[in-house]
Amino acid sequence: MDDQGSGPLKSIADLARLAGVSVSTVSRALTGKGALNKGTRARIQALADHHGFRMNVAAQNLRLGRTGAIAVLMPLGHARGQQLSDPFFLTMLGYLADALTDRGYDLLLSRVLPDRDDWLDTFIRTGRTDGVIVIGQSDQGAALARAAASYRPLVVWGEQVRGDGPVTVGTDNEAGGRLAAQHLVDRGRRTLAFFGDVGVPEFAARHVGFLAGLPPELRDDVVLVTSPVTSEASEATARDWFAAGNRPDGIFAASDVVALSLIAAAQQQGLQVPQDISIVGFDDIPLARLTRPALSTIRQDIEMGAHHLVDLLVRRIGGEDAGSVQIAPELLVRESS
Amino acid sequence: MDDQGSGPLKSIADLARLAGVSVSTVSRALTGKGALNKGTRARIQALADHHGFRMNVAAQNLRLGRTGAIAVLMPLGHARGQQLSDPFFLTMLGYLADALTDRGYDLLLSRVLPDRDDWLDTFIRTGRTDGVIVIGQSDQGAALARAAASYRPLVVWGEQVRGDGPVTVGTDNEAGGRLAAQHLVDRGRRTLAFFGDVGVPEFAARHVGFLAGLPPELRDDVVLVTSPVTSEASEATARDWFAAGNRPDGIFAASDVVALSLIAAAQQQGLQVPQDISIVGFDDIPLARLTRPALSTIRQDIEMGAHHLVDLLVRRIGGEDAGSVQIAPELLVRESS
DNA sequence: CTGTTAGCGCGTTCAG
DNA sequence: CTGAACGCGCTAACAG
């Protein structure tokens, strides 16, 4: 190395001294903002990356009055055993990480235990990030609406609520439910059931769409089974339900995880899928196409969802009044129906 | 509200004015550091949270010469189709988020595409975090070793390498391989195969342990099949392999995802699991106990792993010279063997 | 026990 | 086109 023996460069002041210019010149050179002689800019930049110098992002952000980070809040609740195993979250996280990086933001991940109902306000007030993305509103609609009322850079993945809820990005869950209904009817199924917790807005919309997509004579006989979202619990629920003698010929599950549990439980009861019973899920998790039988499902476009979430958030940070977005779902027919 | 009409509190200076004290007094009151009259401290604290005031963490960190964040780098490569769907990562992430939060650190998530071999050095040089946790060394041993040579607050989840690699936390993969071997032998299996990519250190160690756990007369006949790690690719590999007429009676897979693909492929060939063939995985992902047959596997204690990763990292940040940790694996016998 | 002062590393007027 | 000076919000000596 041909360092001048003055040690590592800790700040733009060091670099300025080395280059024989002032700190503001270095600042202009490295940020690319402000007018500056082409030559000096190039010279300073060359010097900078020759020494592997990087500006202190924290100081930069402090000066600019921002944090440079976006929080992604998820119910990663292993303690409470929620969707921890749901591959949906990780997929979403991957796409969000990309989209945020492209915009120059860091991704601050925070796990949330919504025990106290002011968890969101508390987080926001710390001012650790320039914006917040919440994945899955679950039953936290009230907390989200309250926070959204006074904090604009907040976007939520989930079902769009009427009234003054937060800005959301999500699949058109009702349309998804209708797709499932029409498909099961096409398959000649008549005795139908819905598995899911309609206390969760997303699932409620899927249920509504499912009923709406059915011919009137079938609609009233649809059984609604309130099922938990985790694999373990939903499988237990399904097992008990089949053991009680229930024998529908078509089931629409609120999520793929629930659908897979249903298949497992049905097979344990000696039922053939799809011969005896058609099962359709929702999400299209990677595993859906690998099980035997492969799962028919309503696909959510997670990549597009992540893209919209970030786009919306960035625009709201910029002061725009960007509104909610719905994404069209898609029916994937595989073996389970 | 009974605000004095002076608007929201933006800094400790505002609070100081309101309380009739100096900024340093407010600083001492809110941080709890330094000597201060009990009464004033309480008074200022009360005033602060009455107004919902929070200190600017960025400024605090700038002054303290730290960032208050830890980076978690993961090969979340949907573009390259890696372990994106592997629930292992999300589980680990959840535990890491908890452990870091407990220590007062933010978790900065960054997705990594290890195309250029200086990805780690580049990230570290930005100085965005006080430390780095890398999940899964994959084939990046060289990059990790190089970074570790000059950057101390770096810990890696994965197999411990001899020589001057980074500090690691990981399961004792060799011991895990031995457990699998002994179990298959106990089951009377004689014609054995290992599915996995031994170019990845973790998998190589599992393979070595597997062979070591076998009686000499079986050892030489073990077939090594280099399998990809994703569901799709590994299932294709398995299908082709079975289709070529290979008929072992016992297989140890380098991961649960691969093991599940093996089961699917075997069943497609009309093979009964475990009657015709025993299959053992590695990880114990949540799904392992839900498939039919439920997967026998070598369990990794992810929670303990996350705990050790954070503990080690924090100690190294503090200047300690803490070394690598290995965690004992556990055999879980279910239905697939 | 509390106030004053001097930076942490950077961006940005305002002069020259 | 470039430099000097000030301040973002906070902490840590050093005085009093």
Residues B157 and B178 in one domain: no
Question: Using 50, 70 and 90 to split pLDDT, how confident is the model at A165?
Answer: confident
pLDDT > 80? residue B80:
no
At a CB cut-off of 8 Å and minimum separation 6, what does A333 contact? A183, A296
State which residue of chain B sits closest to A284, comparing Cα positions. B85
Residues B230 and B83 in one domain: no
pLDDT (0 to 100) of residue A6: 56
Q: Which residues of A touch B54 (CB under 8 A)?
A: 125-127
pLDDT > 80? residue B201:
yes
At a CB cut-off of 8 Å and minimum separation 6, what does A277 contact? A247, A248, A249, A250, A251, A266, A271
Residues B160 and B224 in one domain: no
Residues A143 and A245 in one domain: no
pLDDT (0 to 100) of residue B141: 83
pLDDT (0 to 100) of residue B105: 93
Closest nt to residue A23, judged CA to C1' = D3
Contact A62 B59 (CB under 8 A): yes
pLDDT (0 to 100) of residue A252: 98
Range of the domain at B225: 173-299
Question: Can you tell me the mean pLDDT for A97-113?
Answer: 89
Closest nt to residue B31, judged CA to C1' = D11
Q: Which residues of A touch B11 (CB under 8 A)?
A: none
Residues B167 and B109 in one domain: yes
Residue A200 lies in a domain: yes
Residue B335 lies in a domain: no
Question: Can you tell me the mean pLDDT for A64-81?
Answer: 76
For residue A230, the one-letter residue type is T
pLDDT > 50? residue A79:
no
Q: Name the domain count of chain A.
A: 3
B250 three-state secondary structure = strand
pLDDT > 60? residue B303:
yes
Residue A20, Cβ density class (10 Å: 0-12 exposed, 13-18 middle, ≥19 buried) = exposed
pLDDT (0 to 100) of residue A85: 54
pLDDT (0 to 100) of residue A306: 95
The residues pairing with A298 across neighbouring beta strands, listed in sequence order, are A282, A331
Cα–Cα distance, B63 to B56 (Å, whole number): 11
Do the beta carbons of residue B336 and residue B294 sit within 8 Å?
A: yes
Cα–Cα distance, A273 to A270 (Å, whole number): 10
Contact A84 B286 (CB under 8 A): yes
Cα–Cα distance, B263 to B231 (Å, whole number): 12
Residue A294 lies in a domain: yes
pLDDT (0 to 100) of residue A335: 95
Structure confidence by residue, pLDDT tens digits, A225-266: 999 888 778 989 999 999 999 999 999 999 998 999 999 899
Closest residue (CA) to C1' of nucleotide D4 is A22
Residues B127 and B228 in one domain: no
Sign of the torsion formed by the C-alpha atoms of B27, B31, B37 and B42: positive
Closest nt to residue B62, judged CA to C1' = C8
**Torsions phi, psi of A174, nearest 5?**
-65, -45
pLDDT > 80? residue A3:
no
State which residue of chain B sits closest to A261, comparing Cα positions. B290
Q: Which residue in the set B67, B108, B127 is minimally distant from A54, CB to CB?
A: B127
pLDDT > 60? residue B156:
yes
**Residue A229 Cα, gap to closest chain B Cα (Å):** 13
Question: Using 50, 70 and 90 to split pLDDT, how confident is the model at A88?
Answer: confident
**Residue A71 Cα, gap to closest chain B Cα (Å):** 9
Sign of the torsion formed by the C-alpha atoms of B83, A290, B334 and A240: positive
Cα–Cα distance, A281 to A336 (Å, whole number): 9
pLDDT > 70? residue A77:
no
| B8-CA/C2-C1' distance, Å | 25
Question: Can you tell me the mean pLDDT for B327-337?
Answer: 96
pLDDT (0 to 100) of residue B85: 55
Higher pLDDT pick, A267 / B113: A267
pLDDT > 60? residue B77:
no
Question: Using 50, 70 and 90 to split pLDDT, how confident is the model at A109?
Answer: very high
**Residue A111 Cα, gap to closest chain B Cα (Å):** 6
Report the run of H or E that residue A331 belongs to, with start and end.
strand A330-332
Cα–Cα distance, B223 to B246 (Å, whole number): 10
Task: Report chain A's C-alpha Rg in angstroms.
Answer: 26
Higher pLDDT pick, B301 / B81: B301
Question: Using 50, 70 and 90 to split pLDDT, how confident is the model at B26?
Answer: very high
Average pLDDT, chain B: 89
pLDDT > 60? residue B273:
yes
Terminal CA-to-CA distance of chain A, rounded, Å? 67
Residues B250 and B287 in one domain: yes
pLDDT (0 to 100) of residue B251: 98
Q: Which residue in the set A84, A109, A268 is minimally distant from B91, CB to CB?
A: A84
On strand C, nucleotides with any atom < 7 Å from a protein CB are 1-5, 7-13
Question: Using 50, 70 and 90 to split pLDDT, how confident is the model at B6?
Answer: low
Question: Can you tell me the mean pLDDT for B138-142?
Answer: 80
Kindly report the CATH number assigned to the domain that includes residue A102: 3.40.50.2300
Residue B45 lies in a domain: yes
Report the run of H or E that residue B252 belongs to, with start and end.
strand B250-253
Residues B179 and B246 in one domain: yes
Residues A99 and A36 in one domain: no
At a CB cut-off of 8 Å and minimum separation 6, what does A114 contact? A75, A138, A140, A143
Residues A181 and A284 in one domain: yes
> Would you say the C-beta of A272 is within 7 Å of strand D?
no
Contact B235 A290 (CB under 8 A): yes
Sheet holding B250-253, edge to edge: B223-225, B192-195, B250-253, B278-283, B296-299, B330-332
Closest residue (CA) to C1' of nucleotide D12 is B24
Structure confidence by residue, pLDDT tens digits, A42-57: 999 898 989 888 898 8
Q: Which residues of B touch A62 (CB under 8 A)?
A: 56, 58-59, 62
- Whether the upstream peptide bond of residue B8 has omega within 30° of 0, thus cis, is no
pLDDT (0 to 100) of residue A317: 93
Closest nt to residue B9, judged CA to C1' = D9
Q: Which residue in the set A58, A91, A106 is minimally distant from B84, CB to CB?
A: A91
Cα–Cα distance, B230 to B233 (Å, whole number): 6
pLDDT (0 to 100) of residue B332: 97
Contact B90 A101 (CB under 8 A): no
Residue B136 lies in a domain: yes
Residue B79 lies in a domain: yes
pLDDT > 80? residue B236:
yes
State which residue of chain A sits closest to B78, comparing Cα positions. A94
Question: Can you tell me the mean pLDDT for B210-239?
Answer: 92
Residues B179 and B282 in one domain: yes
* Interface test mutation site (partner A, options B76, B100, B283, B301, max chain A beta carbons within 10 A): B76
Question: In terms of DSSP H, where are the helices of A269-322?
Answer: 302-317
Residue A337 lies in a domain: no
Structure confidence by residue, pLDDT tens digits, B116-131: 778 898 889 888 999 9
Average pLDDT, chain A: 89
Cα–Cα distance, B90 to A90 (Å, whole number): 6
Q: Which residue in the set A56, A108, A261 is minimally distant from B106, CB to CB?
A: A108
Count the helix, strand and coil residues of chain A and give each as a percent rounded to the nearest 5: 45, 15, 40
Residues A200 and A285 in one domain: yes
Most confident by average pLDDT, A75-89, A166-180, B27-41:
A166-180
Residue B60 lies in a domain: no
| B18-CA/C3-C1' distance, Å | 16
State which residue of chain B sits closest to A66, comparing Cα positions. B58
pLDDT (0 to 100) of residue A2: 39
Q: Which of B266-271's residues contact partners 24+ apart within 8 Å by CB, and which partners?
A: B266/B238, B266/B242, B267/A292, B268/A292, B268/B239, B268/B242, B269/B239, B269/B242, B269/B243, B271/B242, B271/B247
Q: What percent of chain A has pLDDT over 90?
A: 58
- In A150-300, at which residue ranges do the beta strands (DSSP E only) sit? 154-157, 167-171, 192-195, 223-225, 250-253, 278-283, 296-299
Question: Can you tell me the mean pLDDT for A270-295?
Answer: 89
> Would you say the C-beta of B24 is within 7 Å of strand D?
yes
Contact B264 A107 (CB under 8 A): no
At a CB cut-off of 8 Å and minimum separation 6, what does A110 contact? A71, A72, A73, A74, A123, B97, B101, B106, B107
Sign of the torsion formed by the C-alpha atoms of A203, A157, A280 and A189: positive
Q: Alpha carbon A319 to chain centroid distance?
A: 23
